Amino acid sequence: MSDKNVVTVREVMNQRYVRVSGMDTVADAFLQMREADAHCMIVERRDEADEFGLVLYTDIARKVIGPDRSVERVRIYEIMSKPVLSVHPDMNIRYASRLFEHFRIRVAPVAEDGEVIGIVTDRDIVMQGLAQLLESPAG
Range(s) of the domain holding residue 9: 3-135
Q: Which amino acid is at 51?
A: E
Q: What is the pLDDT of residue 138?
A: 60
For residue 4, pLDDT beyond 80: no
The arithmetic mean of pLDDT across residues 12-31, rounded, is: 97
- Beta bridge partners of residue 116, listed in sequence order: 111
- For 136, other C-beta atoms within 10 Å of its C-beta total 14
Report if pTM > 0.85. yes
Q: What is the pLDDT of residue 1?
A: 44
27-43 pLDDT, tens digit each = 999 999 999 999 999 99
38-76 pLDDT, tens digit each = 999 999 999 989 999 999 999 999 999 999 999 999 999
For residue 2, pLDDT beyond 70: no
User: Which 8-state DSSP code applies to residue 24?
Assistant: S
| Number of domains within the chain | 1
86-139 pLDDT, tens digit each = 999 999 999 999 999 999 999 999 999 999 999 999 999 999 878 877 887 664
CATH number at residue 82: 3.10.580.10
CA dihedral 1, 3, 88, 19 (to 10 degrees): -70
User: Which 8-state DSSP code applies to residue 91?
Assistant: S
Q: What is the pLDDT of residue 137?
A: 67
Q: Which amino acid is at 9?
A: V
Which phi and psi angles does 56 have, rounded to 5°?
Answer: -110, 165
Residue pair 52/75 in contact by the 8 Å Cβ criterion: no
Residue pair 127/113 in contact by the 8 Å Cβ criterion: no
Q: Which contiguous run of DSSP H or E holds residue 58?
A: helix 57-60
